[in-house]
């Protein structure tokens, strides 16, 4: 799980690449429109995952009055 937190964008890119390679080599048979739909859906879902993984979380009190 730590690898997912350290490199979320790389993992997301690898997942999209693997799916496209499966289509390219004929393991999965999809039309060009289906491939575009799958890529679009993956990009949207994985972008949310990456954003959650890399966005810092701070409490408002810590931002206004940080401890010395």
Average pLDDT rounded to a whole number, residues 15-42: 94
- At 4 the pLDDT is 66
Q: How far apart are the first and last CA of the chain?
A: 34
Q: What residue segments make up the domains of the chain, in order of their start?
A: 2-64
Average pLDDT rounded to a whole number, residues 21-36: 94
- At 14 the pLDDT is 92
- Structural contact between residues 20 and 39, judged by C-beta atoms closer than 8 angstroms: yes
**pTM of the entire structure?**
0.68
- At 31 the pLDDT is 93
Could you please report the per-residue DSSP string of the chain? -HHHHH-HHHHHHHHHHHHHHHHHTTSS---HHHHHHHHHHHHHHHHHHHHHHHS----HHHHHS---
């Amino acid at each position: 799980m730590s690898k997912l937190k350290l490199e979320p964008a790389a993992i997301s890119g690898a997942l999209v690449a693997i799916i496209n390679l499966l289509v390219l080599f004929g393991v999965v048979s999809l039309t060009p429109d289906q491939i575009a739909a799958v890529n679009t859906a993956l990009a949207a879902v994985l972008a949310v995952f990456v954003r959650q993984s890399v966005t810092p979380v701070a409490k408002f009190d810590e931002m206004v009055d940080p401890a010395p």
